[in-house]
Amino acid sequence: MSERLYFRQLLSGRDYAVGDPIATQMRNFAYLIGDRETGECVVIDPAYAASDLVDIAEAAGLRLTGVLATHHHPDHVGGTMLGFTLGGVRELLEKTDVPVHVNAEELPWVARVTDIAESQLTGHAHGDKITVGAFDIELLHTPGHTPGSQCFLFDNRLIAGDTLFVDGCGRTDFPGGDSDEMFRSLRYLAGLAGDPVVYPGHWYSEEPSAALSAIRDTNYVMRPQTLEQWRMLMPG
């Protein structure tokens, strides 16, 4: 099965959206997950130059069959927020019409930011699965950074968006953020079985990914065991 799996971690400004100063500064990761045998592929968090990501998949002999979004911020899905506008999912849909999978709690936020009709988005609950060829991707609702932030678990990999980085975690002071919810989400992720490799939404650390066990040992946001300890570490 490992020979069938196509998996790419792609850095904005380097692997796609090359030369875009915002993409280069933000250091976002997008991801491609595909089945080489069936030719199916999904993209996670296409922003900046989403068409580049489609081209990368097609160059590998894969056809895009869906978009998965970790959350609604424009550096992950494109759109307009806090006075700036980025390309993303809307431009991708103009090139290829595929389902866009978001957490149900995030659906109105994604629609508002991207100006995509809610009817064009597919909302999901915690534990839902998306199938890409022979591979299942489990959707995990991890609110905190945003109300409907979600992570994706497959093949002992965890694509964590802005919920969990190799060092630190996502901010909770943007609209819809909730620090207490972030603590609960981090504790949930800390308890995942199988020691998956964590792939974050940004490259904010020395390494672009790390085993969950290593992150539990070294990442300061994983140290609090109670909500009271968390509030002391992250006041407000």
- For residue 14, the domain's CATH number is 3.60.15.10
Q: What is the mean pLDDT of residues 16-38?
A: 97
Residue type, 216: R
In the block, which residue shows the tokens 């993303």? 88
Percent of the chain past pLDDT 90, that is, above it, reads 94
pLDDT at res. 83: 79
Q: Distance between CA atoms of 83 and 99, rounded to whole angstroms?
A: 28
DSSP summary character for residue 158: E
Indicate the SS3 state at residue 96: coil
pLDDT, tens digit, for every residue of 183-224?
999 999 999 999 999 999 999 999 999 999 999 999 999 999
The burial of 230, by beta-carbon neighbours within 10 Å (0-12 exposed, 13-18 middle, 19 or more buried), is given as buried
pLDDT in tens, 75-131: 999 998 777 899 999 999 998 999 999 999 999 999 999 999 999 999 999 999 999
Residue 234 to residue 232: CA distance in whole angstroms = 6
pLDDT of residue 236: 64
* Of 53, 6, 40, the residue nearest 155 (C-alpha): 6
Q: Which residue range(s) make up the domain with 63?
A: 5-233
User: Residue range 40-58: average pLDDT?
Assistant: 97
Work out how many domains the chain is built from and give that number: 1
Instruction: Look at residue 81 in the predicted model and tell me its pLDDT.
Output: 78
Record the pTM. 0.96
- Mean pLDDT (the chain) is 96
Q: In the prediction, which pLDDT does 1 show?
A: 61
Check residue 2 and give its pLDDT: 74
Q: What is the largest CA-CA distance in the chain?
A: 51
Three-class secondary structure of residue 29 per DSSP: strand
Greater model confidence, 135 or 2: 135
Cβ contacts of 121 within 8 Å, gap of 6 or more? 100, 102, 107, 110, 111
**How many CA atoms does the CB half-sphere of 227 hold within 13 Å?**
8
Q: Is the pLDDT of residue 51 over 90?
A: yes
Strand partners, 150: 141
136-145 average pLDDT score = 98
